[in-house]
Structure 1
Amino acid sequence: MSEKTGRRRGRGALAVLVVVVLAVVLAVTTDLALHRPPRPPVGPAGIAPPPGLDLPQARPAPAVVEAAPTAPVAPEAVRRALAGPLADPDLGRHVVASVAGLDGGPRWELGGTGPGRVAVPASTTKVVTAAAALLALDPEDTFTTRVVADGPGRVVLVGGGDPFLAAAPPADGEEAYPPVADVVDLARQSARALRADGVRSVRVGYDDTLFSGPAVSPRWPATYLPDVVTPIHALWVDQGVDGDGLRVADPPRSAADAYAAALRAEGIRVRGGPTPVTAPAASPDLASVESAPLAAVVEQVLRVSDNEGAEVLLRHVGLATGRPGSFDGGRAGVQEELAAAGVDLAAPSVLWDGSGLSRENRLDPGLLVDVLQLTASEDRPELRAVVTGLPVAGFDGSLADRFDTGDPRAPGRVRAKTGTLSNVFGLAGLAVGADGRPVAFALLADRIRLPRTSLALQAMDQAAAALAGCRCTR
């Protein structure tokens, strides 16, 4: 174990805001989880029990003791809180960790130095990708899918890298979040424009050229296809998954087929099948739809650990930094954006993708803490979607069914991105301790024995939960 001071001193943090956000989420998501409207402003003591039922005197929950606003994290207090959970043999022989206040200051770390300090991050990688996307782009930016006219009698569906483009709008009575664009809307707009020009029959082309390079990372095991991840494209519908839940062989062609079918339903004759083309740059638009804003995309990618969405974001980082929309272009863009923000993604840390699917990725947990501190900084409000997108322990996203062991104060007071591969578990996020002070943390274990998987998961949750019960400023 070692202690060292934070990497960036003097950075302001919205500590109070994070505490309030966690408290509000706890109050609201508890009701949502129970499928009932928000509670009226009355406590349990104000409601009489049913006749004949005697209840014992209720004990009030322990109050959170507020630390001084500038109280630093005490590494020795963190060590005491985490010593037991992180020493659990079920976590295996390689566990690394980092914990610090949101505004820098002293930092507690576990795992030595150099190459032994890095571990396979799994999906905690998405925190880095999401932050880089918000650094490279604007939180309100959207991704446009277009239909253009390409000469007499041909239209081209042009992919714009919308990770959530759908084959159809939500069914009646349903509402998607974040809001999604769909090709049925595109077909309706296209049909109106075509009829206005006196066109009743067209051929359909599709343009998937926005992204480049391999659609599948050479750093991914071949076994990931077709069951784990869809090859990454700038044009697809439903992330390349068909109505039976199976991944399609050619996502761009499948999207074009869905558009052509919707165009026929609008009364436009479609001659032949869709063909891949590159739309001329000067082609006039017939129709367009916009994705949800980037901030909402980031929140969803983090909340449900969306692998395909994260890889699309990686490519947009590449494009936004003047590089190809590819694995390599995105990786270089992420490194550039983080460096400009004061976070050094350098050896022995290395990322080969945006989702964390690669088992060749390596991250120092201190780098994850650096990124989390950055996203919580009052100087970087454009990064807030990373904080608000982190799943809430015991309530939503990839943490909805976890944290049923460990400190009972953890649900609602821990927000964290999960990381899960075979033999690997990780958590990276924020926790509000018993003294009311939030901390950023990253916990990674990458040599877990498969027979111990479920026990290791509990141990990892118990470690993060311990931070919710820690008076770590003492």
Structure 2
Amino acid sequence: MNRTVRRTLVAAVLTPVAGAVMAGQSATAADRSAASQESVDRFDSGDQKLVDNLNARSQDKNIGSTFSGVVMDAESNEVIWGHDAQRALMPASNTKLATATAALTLLGPDHRFTTKVVYGDGTLTLVGGGDRTLTTADVTELAGSAADGLRHAGLDTVKVRVDDSLFAEPTLAEGWNSSYYDDQIAPVRSLVVDGKLVQDTAVDAGEVFAAQLAEQGIGVTGDVTRGQAAPTDFPVAEKQSAELSVIVEQMLKTSDNDIAETLLRATGIASGREATYEGGTAAVRDILTDRYGISVSNFEIHDGSGLSRSNRITARTVAEILDLTTDPRHSGLLKSVSDGLPVAGEAGSTLGPEWGRFDTANSECAVGQVKGKTGTLTGATALSGLTQGKDGRWKIFSFIENGSGAEGGAIKDSLDGLAATVNGCWA
């Protein structure tokens, strides 16, 4: 498909969703010149005003000097504005955009994760299939089916075992520290109930399953153990997750670290690699380059969630990943990436008012007008997304700062202001 035809199709399919929302420092003349070199050669008056505003506002002391930013026209793919757009910085949870793209590409948006119960030699085994969204209600349903089967076979007692062998033994990713297990993420296993942040999510799930069996009148002997189900074990029950597209939306709306790491391992498996950080991240790199032609020369990730402080991605790469959602060749496959981006002012998302986003005099005009993926680590803040400018053209933006000494809320306010500038409501 040639470029002109593709852009014509893009213009035809881009429609407003949810109202108007689509489904560094330049203090010196030299800095301004460098920024302009990353932009298109000629601007209309609206683009030039946007460039001037971004040049000025990206000098905000809250953003600091270690900053990578870019704004692209979604129809032409031209860079309207950039500041160190090819500088690789710590992207925090913007990493999840790459993870989601690879998972959807390899597994497909209709993919479902399956949790199973099998029986053999007096033991029921709960087999994890990588469903990070499994709930107590789901486990209760599995226990009910298993209890019915046992009673039909004339059995009223059983041992319980868990099989979480689908994923490799949990380890810390490069750039993680053990304190993450306190409140950021659980050790990554293929079996978990209710998204609990506990050290052994698989055994915990087995204990929930055993308790539900007892509620169904089935006696459970001994403690819950871990072990692989035998090939000869008889299938008793299974529970499928929601479609992957739904899970991706949930992950992006709330920036769920546990779902992201589960998807990374599932992606590794789907690519024929091991269910490890290394297998998953290698698959992500291959998908970006081989399938979509995105350069990964300044791209380094060690996890799927963005918790790793060793991750490095450029604003240009993040913007190119988001641009895939506007391409008719890929927009169907990757629709849940766009749909999962939080909307400015959307309660329950990471851009909601409960997080103090888009609530300043300069940015509140963009409520309902901007979709963006947040990213926050100590020393790193990012905001990347899409918005329709006042000129009616869709724009893709990515802003990543590292090392600002400002208070976290002030940094976020400044990035929200940049997004409002791209939208044009802060003129």
Same fold, TM-score > 0.5, yes or no:
yes
Deviates more, 1:279-288 or 1:435-444: 279-288
Query: TM-score when scaled to structure 2?
Result: 0.88
Aligned mates of 1:463, 1:305 — CA distance in 2 = 21
Q: By how many angstroms is 1:470 displaced? A: 6.6
Aligned mates of 1:100, 1:276 — CA distance in 2 = 51
Give 1:84's aligned amino acid: A
Q: By how many angstroms is 1:262 displaced? A: 0.4
Give the counterpart of 1:463 among 401, 415, 418.
418
Equivalent residue for 1:412? 368
Equivalent residue for 2:119? 149
Equivalent residue for 1:337? 287
Aligned mates of 1:262, 1:72 — CA distance in 2 = 66
Q: Does 1:221 align with 2:217?
A: no
Matches within 5 A, 1:47-446: 76-112=48-84, 117-151=87-121, 153-166=122-135, 168-169=136-137, 182-239=138-195, 241=196, 247-380=197-330, 381-396=332-347, 397-401=349-353, 402-405=357-360, 406-446=362-402
Q: By how many angstroms is 1:291 displaced? A: 0.7
* Contiguous gaps of at least 5 residues in structure 2: 23-42
Q: 1:21 to 1:126 in 2, by over 3 A?
A: same
Quick check: 2:125–2:161 contact (8 Å CA) kept in 1?
Answer: yes
Deviates more, 1:13-22 or 1:403-412: 13-22
Q: Give the % identical residues.
A: 35
SS at match of 1:132: helix
- What is the CA RMSD across the aligned residues, in angstroms? 2.3
Quick check: 2:173–2:277 contact (8 Å CA) kept in 1?
Answer: yes
Give 1:384's aligned amino acid: K
Q: 1:276 to 1:290 in 2, by over 3 A?
A: same
Aligned mates of 1:189, 1:470 — CA distance in 2 = 56
Give the counterpart of 2:19 among 19, 23, 30.
23
Give 2:318's aligned amino acid: L
Q: By how many angstroms is 1:119 displaced? A: 1.0
Equivalent residue for 1:175? none
Query: TM-score when scaled to structure 1?
Result: 0.79
Quick check: 1:260–1:270 contact (8 Å CA) kept in 2?
Answer: yes
Measured against aligned partners, the alpha-carbon deviations of 1:337-362 in whole angstroms (never above 9, x if no partner) come to 11222243523221111100011111
Deviates more, 1:90-99 or 1:341-350: 341-350
Number of positions where the alignment pairs a residue of Structure 1 with one of Structure 2: 398
* Contiguous gaps of at least 5 residues in structure 1: 1-7, 27-70, 170-181, 242-246
Give 2:300's aligned amino acid: V
Quick check: 2:70–2:316 contact (8 Å CA) kept in 1?
Answer: yes
Quick check: 1:314–1:353 contact (8 Å CA) kept in 2?
Answer: yes
Q: By how many angstroms is 1:160 displaced? A: 0.3
Q: By how many angstroms is 1:92 displaced? A: 1.1
Quick check: 2:46–2:391 contact (8 Å CA) kept in 1?
Answer: no
Deviates more, 1:292-301 or 1:344-353: 344-353
Q: 1:412 to 1:113 in 2, by over 3 A?
A: closer
Deviates more, 1:322-331 or 1:11-20: 11-20
Quick check: 1:433–1:471 contact (8 Å CA) kept in 2?
Answer: no
